[in-house]
Homo-oligomer: A and B are copies of this chain.
Amino acid sequence: MAYHQDIKIGVLGGGQLGRMLLQSAIDFNLELHMLDPDAQAPCHQLASSFTQGALTDYDTVLSWGAPFDVITIEIENVNVEALRELERQGKKVYPQPDVIALIQDKRTQKQFYQERGIPTAPFILTENREDVAQHVGFLPAVHKLGREGYDGRGVQKIASKAEIHRAFDKPGLLEKLIRFEKEIAVIVARSSTGEVKAFPAVEMVFHPEHNLVEYLFAPARLQQHLSEKAEDIALKVAEELKIVGLLAVEMFVTPQGEILVNEVAPRPHNSGHQTIEANYSSQYEQHLRAILGLPLGDTACKIPSAMVNLLGEAGHSGPARYAGLEQVLELSGVHIHLYGKKITKPFRKMGHVTIVDTSLERLQEKARFVKDTLKVIA
């Protein structure tokens, strides 16, 4: 479809990913219309129209989607049947409803990798807790709910028989616990024209003691053949899915140099925020180019970067304040992105900070400083 600025685009979800998509859409004169269950969602004042409603409700999605030419998502927990009906009505729905459905269920996602020869950790499908108990020999493993496991929910480590009582009593899967050296992500775009491009791999940096992700580093510090392998795998997943739009592919790098797909998200992703400042094209612009059938942008890095998520401080709930903002803005190469959420809660994603620097050492120092200094409190 040829670009024209009067094309009507609907977006399911109006959170921070939608907000950054909106910022990019302004450059293309594109109006984005959004649906979100939260009346105060980050996009509520910025979208060309904002509708409050449940993304998982068939009738809501169907009637909301009626006026648009193209429909996309910024969150995958949406009503796929309504999207299928909108597609039948002739609308472009990108990513396609079938792709969203496959990804929504971690069981079908894993089976897909297996069928298509995409490397992933060994797994067993389980129907309920009793079923998990049948596979003691497979432990230690990560037990994952098939559906509705978002943002760390629906995932449970089961080290041994003694922990099986913690298993979910619903359809899920047991995945072999993988020792990994690095956790990386590659964001791929596939256009409605079939063109594909991968952003360089990025790396999650873990705190040396707490074993929590501290910040993200781009590009990933990997031997070149591993970076290339990771990009090839991510491209293969996107091509096998025939997705139109962005696909974020999270992967593990094992000590043996294997690369295993962990999971994917069919939308802009937390691991691509830094592309706004650090790459020739941002993931947000790339998503718009992909769903509009425009040529994909160059994904190369302009400059190395680190990205720190800004989470609500533990013990603080209420109207958000940003302590340490001025000290952080004194550093060269620091760029803050606040998400417009008035209320902070413990661990709520309130914003992120991107840092660009030509020196990897300084990047690390600055990332730690930002992490230690900037606090979202109430």
Q: How far is the CA of A28 from the CA of B336 in the complex (A)?
A: 7
In the complex, whether A134 has a CB less than 8 A from a CB of chain B is no
Name A's interface SS: loop
Whether B28 contacts A338 by the Cβ 8 Å rule is yes
Interface residues of A in 274-312 (CB under 8 A from B): 280-281, 285, 289, 294-295, 297-298, 300, 302-303
Report yes or no: A337 in contact with B27, Cβ–Cβ below 8 A: yes
Answer whether residue A325 sits at the interface, using C-beta atoms and an 8 A cutoff.
Answer: yes
Q: Is the CB of A3 within 8 A of B322?
A: yes
Q: CB of A330 within 8 A of chain B?
A: yes
A359 is an interface residue with CB less than 8 A from chain B: no
Residues of B within 8 A of A115 (CB): none
Query: Roughly how many angstroms separate A205 CA and B220 CA in the complex, as a whole number?
Result: 38
A297–B26 touching, CB < 8 Å: no
**A325: B residues at CB distance < 8 A:** 3, 294
- Interface residue range, chain A: 35 or more
**Does A4 reach chain B (CB closer than 8 Å)?**
yes
Asked whether A26 lies within 8 Å of B340 as measured between CB atoms, the reply is yes
* Interface flag for A151 (CB, 8 Å): no
A48 to chain B, nearest CB (A): 7
Residues of B within 8 A of A48 (CB): 45
Q: Are A340 and B29 in contact (CB under 8 A)?
A: yes
How many whole Å from A319's CB to the nearest CB in chain B? 9
- For A119, list chain B residues within 8 Å (CB): none
Q: How far is the CB of A129 from chain B (nearest CB, A)?
A: 44
Q: Are B3 and A26 in contact (CB under 8 A)?
A: no
CA distance A303 to B300 in the complex (A): 13
Q: Which residues of A line the B interface, CB within 8 A?
A: 2-5, 19, 22-23, 26-29, 31, 45-46, 48, 280-281, 285, 289, 294-295, 297-298, 300, 302-303, 320-322, 325-326, 329-330, 332-340, 356
Identify 12 new A-B residue pairs, CB closer than 8 A, beyond the known A5-B322, A23-B23. Answer: A2-B326, A5-B320, A28-B338, A29-B340, A280-B356, A285-B335, A294-B329, A297-B332, A297-B334, A298-B332, A298-B333, A302-B303
